[in-house]
């Protein structure tokens, strides 16, 4: 079994390609069902967002799996041929596939590093896959680990703690001035998009009173209804400044509409309580001389942009820590994956020796019909003890070497020495190996010491 990922993202495909491949939530289940009908695809999760479309799958063969998933994507979106998709796709398998998933979950591969939306989208995609039963032991383990890694990154780094948008940088600065935004009031002057977005962020952070003014009275009324605020006539907004802790200005005026004198009067009326002014207008609408007014804190678009760039640099530093965590967690996951590779051999070896033991014990007991039940049990236990002693060291070696560079060689040697690849066609119980899932948990090493003990010694206790 192999874990692979095939997909495209904002890094490899323009929006006109991504939007054609996007799968709406209402169709995810149907798409997953079709994915798992392709030959050799055992498990699947489909992640579709505005910035990426990716298929994570467990397949029998890597190259065939790549081709079938690419064909699945083309079949799902008939306006794009497989050949048209190829230049935009990336393919990963093994540790690279796991690392990619972990990085996606931790938002290290996002357009904005540290954004939180992608983790929720991955959880939703996983829930849909679980609901439609398109995942199994491998995919469940890997996706759950990816979610765990993302949470660890957010807990142990500051990758998501600083603002990387101008509108949220305004909120971050407001928090530094007021510490707590609960019950603070905002005056929004103008209706620029960044100012409106900043106002939304402020409200989300606890601001309760919002006053809105624009040169068009009806526009102010409409915005006030949207924000749950109060419209203010444009010609009166300076009188309202004294009651505003935060003043957000974003108009199309080509000149200053708030001067130092206006702010001085407002601060005085406020009893010298601090006032935070944010000028997102270009050209600026607040006279820079306001910076010299006591208890008035003015920031313009350049100040906010500088803050954003500083925060981006800090996020990149935190991202380096997160990348190291991903590498560490991938190593853990790879060890688990490798343990799955040896499990079928261990199961097949156990089945093979058990079949041989059963056959030989039955022959012996058939010739020794006069034995008492106690003596028959002794023969059974003696045979089991001999078999366990013979394969014990092989089992221990396979488990201890599975994560070494020679692991595959040990597995191959065991299969040849014990003719395990032929056992599926021999004997009435030959189906036992092929019927067992390839990713059953390995036999616990704790049980081997007891198996190794002679039944004669057990009986003598």
Candidate list 11, 27, 50, 131, residue with the active-site label: 50
- Confidence (pTM): 0.63
CA dihedral 376, 378, 382, 385 (to 10 degrees): 120
User: What integer pLDDT is reported at residue 195 of this predicted model?
Assistant: 76
Task: Categorize the per-residue pLDDT at 405 as very low, low, confident or very high, splitting at 50, 70 and 90.
Answer: low
Q: Which two tokens stand for residue 128?
A: 């849909």
Task: Categorize the per-residue pLDDT at 432 as very low, low, confident or very high, splitting at 50, 70 and 90.
Answer: very low
User: What integer pLDDT is reported at residue 160 of this predicted model?
Assistant: 80
pLDDT of 297-313, one tens digit each?
A: 999 989 988 888 888 88
Task: Categorize the per-residue pLDDT at 424 as very low, low, confident or very high, splitting at 50, 70 and 90.
Answer: very low
Mean pLDDT over 186-191 rounds to 91
Answer yes or no: is pLDDT of 441 > 50: no
Calculate Rg over the CA atoms of the chain. 33
Name the percent of the chain in helix, strand, coil, to the closest 5. Answer: 60, 15, 25
CB 424 within 8 A of CB 355: no
Answer yes or no: is pLDDT of 433 > 60: no
User: How many helices, marked H, and strands, marked E, lie in the chain?
Assistant: 18, 10
Task: Categorize the per-residue pLDDT at 104 as very low, low, confident or very high, splitting at 50, 70 and 90.
Answer: very high
- Look up 36 and say whether it is catalytic: no
d(CA 168, CA 205): 11
**409 or 238: whose pLDDT is higher?**
238
Q: What domains appear along the chain, each with residue ranges and CATH number?
A: 2-156 (3.30.460.30), 166-294 (3.40.50.720), 338-459 (no CATH)
Burial 407-440 (b: 16+ CB within 10 A, else e): beebbeebbeebebeebbeeeeebebbeeeebbe
pLDDT of 133-146, one tens digit each?
A: 999 989 999 999 99
Arithmetic mean of pLDDT over the chain: 85
d(CA 233, CA 224): 12
* 3-state DSSP assignment of residue 43: strand
First to last CA, the chain: 45
CB 285 within 8 A of CB 249: yes
CB 188 within 8 A of CB 215: no
Answer yes or no: is pLDDT of 121 > 70: yes
- 3-state SS, one letter per residue, for 6-31: EEEECCCCCHHHHHHHCCCHHHHHHH
Task: Categorize the per-residue pLDDT at 427 as very low, low, confident or very high, splitting at 50, 70 and 90.
Answer: very low
Note if the bond before 403 is cis, omega within 30 degrees. Answer: no
- DSSP states along 167-200: HHHHHHHHHHHHS--TT-EEEEEE--HHHHHHHH
């Amino acid at each position: 079994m192999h874990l692979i990922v095939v997909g495209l993202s904002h890094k490899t495909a323009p929006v006109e390609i991504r939007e054609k491949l996007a799968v709406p939530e209402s169709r995810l289940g149907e798409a997953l069902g079709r994915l798992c009908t392709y030959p050799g695809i055992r498990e699947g999760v489909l992640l579709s967002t505005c910035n990426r479309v990716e298929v994570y799958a467990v397949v029998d063969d890597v190259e065939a799996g790549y081709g079938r998933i690419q064909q699945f994507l083309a079949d799902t979106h008939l306006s794009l041929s497989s050949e048209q998709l190829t230049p935009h796709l990336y393919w990963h398998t093994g540790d690279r596939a796991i690392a990619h998933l972990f990085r996606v979950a931790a938002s290290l591969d996002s357009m904005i590093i540290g954004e939180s939306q992608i983790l929720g989208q991955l959880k939703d995609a996983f829930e849909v896959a679980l609901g439609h039963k398109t995942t199994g032991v491998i995919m469940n383990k890997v996706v759950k680990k990816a979610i765990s890694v993302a949470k660890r990154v957010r807990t142990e780094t500051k990758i998501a703690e600083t603002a990387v948008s101008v509108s949220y940088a305004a909120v971050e600065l407001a928090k530094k001035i007021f510490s707590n935004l609960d019950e603070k009031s905002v005056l929004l002057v103008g209706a620029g998009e960044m100012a409106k977005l900043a106002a939304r962020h402020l409200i989300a952070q606890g601001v309760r009173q919002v006053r809105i003014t624009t040169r068009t009275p009806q526009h102010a009324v409409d915005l006030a209804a949207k924000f749950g605020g109060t419209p203010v006539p444009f010609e009166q907004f300076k009188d309202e400044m004294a009651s505003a802790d935060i003043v957000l200005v974003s108009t199309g005026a080509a000149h200053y509409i708030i001067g130092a004198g206006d702010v001085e009067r407002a601060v005085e009326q406020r009893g010298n309580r601090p006032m935070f002014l944010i000028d997102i207008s270009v050209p600026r609408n607040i006279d820079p001389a306001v910076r010299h007014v006591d208890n008035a804190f003015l920031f313009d678009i350049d100040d906010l942009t500088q803050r954003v760039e500083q925060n981006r640099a800090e996020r990149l530093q935190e991202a380096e820590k997160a990348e190291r965590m991903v590498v560490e967690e991938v190593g853990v996951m790879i060890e688990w994956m490798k343990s799955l590779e040896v499990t079928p051999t261990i199961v097949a070896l156990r089945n093979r020796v058990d079949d041989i033991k059963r056959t030989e014990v039955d022959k012996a007991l058939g010739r020794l019909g006069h034995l008492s039940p106690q003596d028959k049990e002794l023969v059974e236990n003696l045979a089991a003890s001999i078999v366990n002693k013979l394969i014990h060291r092989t089992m221990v070696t396979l488990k201890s070497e599975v994560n070494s560079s020679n692991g595959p060689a040990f597995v191959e040697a065991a299969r040849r020495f014990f003719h395990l690849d032929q056992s599926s066609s021999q004997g009435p119980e030959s189906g036992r190996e092929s019927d067992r899932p390839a990713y059953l948990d390995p036999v616990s090493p704790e049980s081997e010491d007891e198996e190794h003990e002679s039944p004669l010694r057990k009986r003598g206790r």
